[in-house]
């Protein structure tokens, strides 16, 4: 069955890790009749957490899709990870969604993950709903959580389904739109009960009439006629409430709050109803803007009659199925077997088989209409590619991923596995654009970068389990360098006699500091003391010697070498002899030229909440950072700190920042230059480098 845009809802589940996203998805699928039993994350049998790593770790690390039908509406539910190390998955899901249901644990309340999900959804103009979960827990407190939501996100927060608290536990749930109360039996089935009067919680923070007034005010804000009716004191009809909230949600003026318990299924039936009534379809959301072939912006209408415009928002690589591309169709119809134009790669591609997904379960379909989400298998496309009809070339903006900020060196456990590792990591990079893999040109180490230690640990585990490549992750080496600080003149003589032709090379060299990484070589020889045909050999001898300095064996930079004198033997002299003589002069000269170690320095831009700036600046001082300034960040309540910091001090900064800011801070760090390593650190570095070389 192919659905039209008016009967589709694309909804991302996002929120802090452990706030109940996957459990909520499980409850919705069960209540919608898709599954016959409730899976549990801790038992590793949920629909959306099917990856072996997710089952092993009992946590979501991938974005997955499960579709179901409720009230005649096809819902594409996109379950996203809450761990900050897998924020890329959350961003993929929210990018493809029309609405975002943000789960908030009634036990732990508003967390950093709640704010991150809300801010990213708001940035992309997505409708937002708060689902307060885990209300079956005796320590949960819905009304405390509601107060936190209002404090954190302002007056748009509007309760729609709320619990009635009696003697410290939930006695029933009220649907404030219907103005009906329901109790739930052991099977999670709703039974209508009497509406309470007055207080609905033991603490008199919230009264029923106050909640009704709040929802009426929110609805009145969406329409001039409704505002007039509100001021006249006339109660809104149920249809006016539904239409007003629907309009307000789509405009971002209302953020409904719905109370649920995934474990007991309480409130899940009402959530399904509100999904069909309150959340916008692809026809109602803001029209996506793409770029045409001339680079001009063009709005894309969600209609099957327009040429195809679709976007690849996620890729997975299955060792058995092959590449699976998750595609949001914005306009036209995507058909299996069709050849379409990939405007990102500039290639025509043939679309493979298409599937609707319920976790890992696949249901083959022939096509997907505008507004729908579908998975194509074995199709040569990548994440953030735009697929379009050749008659209208358009291109959507790429998914906005966080930049990698934590790096480790990758080594094969077994010799000969290097090709397996390269092939496996190439597949991982297709799946996860927040990973980066490159060779450090200075240390020749292969460096894998991601969003945190758990991110890289799981990447290494996937390499082993999926692609049979076992690796060891180690702290990357720091690419120290050496240079000199004063000018010297030294002699280098190589003389060897062993019967027959001997070896003879003799040079006088001057070494002095200069600017730049490359060797600056000059010759100022007078009277033919060293024949010109040996000059290149002298230069080559110095160049090859510069690969190792005299302090710690690091590459040498900032060196000027001048050949000023020497002597030769008409029979025993050779290019090799002069090359060796130059090397002898180099080693002696650098020892006398006040050699120093240089360390790489990076430019740091770190964003933290205003209340954490002092902590972070103090930490950067401990890490030998040089403060360059502070600026207000674009986001309210955030500050950008600019500093230059040695690379050797930054390896675990991502971990420190996450712990200090609880995940709210982020940073970028780029190498800018080399500076002299402080003298007190030189012995330690020399020892560590000599140990590395053993």
**pLDDT value of residue 234:** 82
Q: What is the pLDDT of residues 401-429, one digit of tens each?
A: 999 989 999 998 888 778 888 888 999 99
* pLDDT > 90 in the chain, percent: 69
DSSP 8-state assignment for residue 680: G
**pLDDT value of residue 1:** 55
| 85 pLDDT higher than 70 | yes
**pLDDT value of residue 198:** 64
Q: Round to whole Å and give the CA distance between 444 and 458.
A: 24
Confidence category of residue 646, pLDDT binned at 50, 70, 90: very high
Mean pLDDT, residues 217-238 taken together: 85
Closest CA to 326 of 76, 501, 46, 525: 76
| 689 pLDDT higher than 80 | yes
Q: What is the pLDDT of residues 345-367, one digit of tens each?
A: 999 999 999 999 999 899 999 99
Confidence category of residue 42, pLDDT binned at 50, 70, 90: confident
**103's torsion region: left (phi>0), alpha (psi -120 to 50) or beta?**
beta
**pLDDT value of residue 39:** 83
Q: What is the pLDDT of residues 138-158, one digit of tens each?
A: 899 999 999 999 999 998 999
Who has greater pLDDT, 691 or 296?
A: 296
Torsion angle of C-alpha atoms 658, 659, 663, 667, degrees rounded to 10 = -30
Mean pLDDT, residues 74-92 taken together: 94
Q: What is the pLDDT of residues 512-571, one digit of tens each?
A: 999 888 999 999 988 788 899 989 999 999 999 999 999 988 999 999 999 999 998 888
Q: What is the pLDDT of residues 447-470, one digit of tens each?
A: 999 999 999 999 999 998 888 888
Both tokens assigned to 344: 């990102």
Mean pLDDT, residues 584-601 taken together: 95
Q: Round to whole Å and give the CA distance between 24 and 543.
A: 65
**pLDDT value of residue 205:** 61
Residue with tokens 């209508």: 192
**pLDDT value of residue 202:** 60
Q: Round to whole Å and give the CA distance between 117 and 125.
A: 12
Residue 178: strand, helix, or coil = coil
**Predicted TM-score (pTM) of this structure:** 0.88
**pLDDT value of residue 278:** 94
Q: Which helix (H) or strand (E) holds 12?
A: strand 8-15
**pLDDT value of residue 201:** 67
Query: 385 — phi, psi (to 5°)?
Result: -75, 145
Q: What is the pLDDT of residues 379-402, one digit of tens each?
A: 999 999 999 999 999 999 999 999
Instruction: Annotate 369-421 with DSSP letters as a single string.
Output: ETT-EEEEES-S--TT-EEE-TTS-EEPPPP-PPPP-EEEEEEESSTT-HHHH
Closest CA to 523 of 513, 537, 509, 512: 509
Whole-Å CA distances, 579 to 418, 499, 623: 36, 21, 43
CB 511, CB 491: distance < 8 Å: no
| 693 pLDDT higher than 60 | no
Mean pLDDT, residues 562-590 taken together: 91
Mean pLDDT, residues 262-273 taken together: 93
Confidence category of residue 654, pLDDT binned at 50, 70, 90: very high
Residue with tokens 């993950």: 113
Residue 250: strand, helix, or coil = helix
Instruction: Annotate 563-628 with DSSP letters as a single string.
Output: EEEEE--TTTB-HHHHHHHHHHHHHHHHHHS-EEEEEEEEEEEEEEEGGGHHHHHHHHHHTT-EEE
**pLDDT value of residue 345:** 94
Closest CA to 181 of 64, 270, 117, 111: 270
| 694 pLDDT higher than 60 | no
| 585 pLDDT higher than 70 | yes
| 438 pLDDT higher than 80 | yes
Who has greater pLDDT, 230 or 125?
A: 125
pLDDT mean across residues, the chain? 91
| 277 pLDDT higher than 60 | yes
**pLDDT value of residue 467:** 83
Whole-Å CA distances, 598 to 408, 482, 483, 549, 679: 22, 6, 7, 11, 11
The distance of Cα 619 from the centroid of its chain, to the nearest Å, equals 24
**Radius of gyration of the chain from Cα atoms?**
33
Who has greater pLDDT, 690 or 542?
A: 542
Residue with tokens 């659905």: 3
């Amino acid at each position: 069955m192919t659905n039209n845009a008016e009967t589709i809802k694309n909804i991302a589940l996002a929120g802090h890790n452990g706030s109940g996203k996957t459990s909520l998805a499980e409850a919705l699928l069960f209540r919608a009749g898709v599954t016959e039993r409730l899976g549990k994350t801790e038992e590793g049998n949920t629909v959306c957490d099917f990856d072996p790593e997710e089952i092993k770790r009992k946590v979501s690390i991938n974005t997955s899709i499960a579709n179901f039908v409720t009230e005649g509406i096809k819902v594409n539910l996109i379950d996203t990870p809450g761990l900050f190390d897998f924020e890329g998955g959350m961003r993929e899901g929210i990018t493809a969604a029309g609405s975002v249901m943000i789960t908030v644990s009634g036990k732990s309340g508003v967390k950093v993950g709640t704010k991150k999900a809300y801010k990213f959804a708001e940035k992309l103009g997505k409708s937002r709903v708060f689902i307060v979960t885990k209300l079956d827990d005796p320590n949960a407190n819905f009304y405390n959580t509601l107060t936190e939501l209002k404090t954190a996100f302002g007056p748009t927060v509007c309760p729609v389904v709320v619990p009635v608290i009696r003697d410290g536990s939930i006695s029933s749930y009220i649907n404030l739109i219907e103005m009906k109360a329901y109790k739930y039996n052991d099977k999670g089935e709703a039974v209508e009960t009497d509406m309470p009067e007055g207080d609905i919680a033991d603490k008199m923070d919230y009264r029923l009439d106050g909640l009704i007034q709040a929802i009426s005010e929110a609805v009145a804000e969406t329409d001039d006629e409704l505002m007039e009716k509100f001021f006249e004191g006339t109660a809104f009809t149920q249809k006016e409430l539904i239409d007003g909230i629907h309009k307000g949600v789509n405009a971002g003026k209302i953020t409904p709050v719905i109370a649920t318990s995934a474990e007991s299924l309480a409130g899940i039936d009402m959530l399904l109803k509100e999904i069909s009534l309150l959340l916008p379809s692809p026809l109602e959301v803001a029209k996506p803007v793409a770029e045409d072939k001339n680079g001009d912006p063009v709005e894309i209408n969600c209609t099957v009659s327009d040429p195809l415009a679709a976007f690849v928002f996620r890729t997975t690589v299955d060792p058995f199925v092959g590449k699976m591309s998750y595609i949001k169709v914005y306009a036209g119809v995507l058909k299996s077997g069709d050849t379409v134009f990939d405007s990102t790669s500039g290639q025509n591609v043939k679309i493979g088989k298409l599937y609707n997904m319920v976790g890992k379960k696949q249901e083959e379909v022939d096509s997907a209409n505008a507004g729908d989400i579908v998975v194509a298998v074995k199709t040569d496309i990548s994440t953030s590619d735009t697929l379009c009809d050749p008659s209208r070339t358009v291109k959507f903006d790429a998914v906005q991923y966080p930049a990698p900020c934590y790096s480790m060196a990758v080594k094969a456990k077994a010799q000969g596995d290097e090709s397996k590792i390269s092939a496996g990591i190439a597949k991982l990079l297709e799946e996860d654009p927040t990973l980066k893999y490159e060779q450090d040109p200075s240390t020749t180490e292969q460096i894998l970068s991601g969003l945190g230690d758990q991110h890289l640990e799981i990447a290494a585990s996937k390499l082993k389990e999926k692609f049979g490549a076992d690796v060891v992750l180690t702290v990357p080496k720091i690419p120290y360098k050496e240079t000199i600080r004063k000018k010297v003149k030294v002699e280098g003589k190589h003389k060897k006699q062993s019967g027959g032709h001997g070896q003879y090379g003799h040079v006088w060299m001057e070494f002095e500091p200069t600017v730049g990484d490359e060797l600056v070589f000059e010759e100022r020889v007078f009277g033919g003391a060293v024949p010109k045909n040996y000059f290149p050999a002298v230069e080559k001898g110095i160049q090859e010697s510069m690969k190792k300095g005299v302090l710690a064996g690091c590459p040498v930079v900032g060196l000027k070498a001048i050949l000023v004198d020497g002597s030769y033997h008409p029979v025993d002299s050779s290019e090799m002899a002069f090359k060796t003589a130059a090397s002898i002069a180099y080693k002696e000269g650098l020892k006398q030229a006040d050699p120093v170690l240089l360390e790489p320095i990076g430019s740091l831009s770190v964003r933290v909440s205003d209340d954490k700036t002092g902590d972070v600046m103090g930490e950067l001082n401990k890490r030998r950072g040089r403060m360059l300034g502070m600026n207000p960040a674009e986001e309210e309540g955030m500050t950008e700190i600019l500093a230059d910091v040695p690379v050797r001090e930054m390896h675990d900064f991502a971990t420190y920042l996450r712990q200090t800011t609880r995940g709210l801070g982020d940073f970028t760090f780029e190498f800018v230059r080399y500076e002299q390593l402080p003298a007190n650190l030189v012995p330690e570095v020399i020892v560590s480098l000599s140990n590395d070389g053993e």
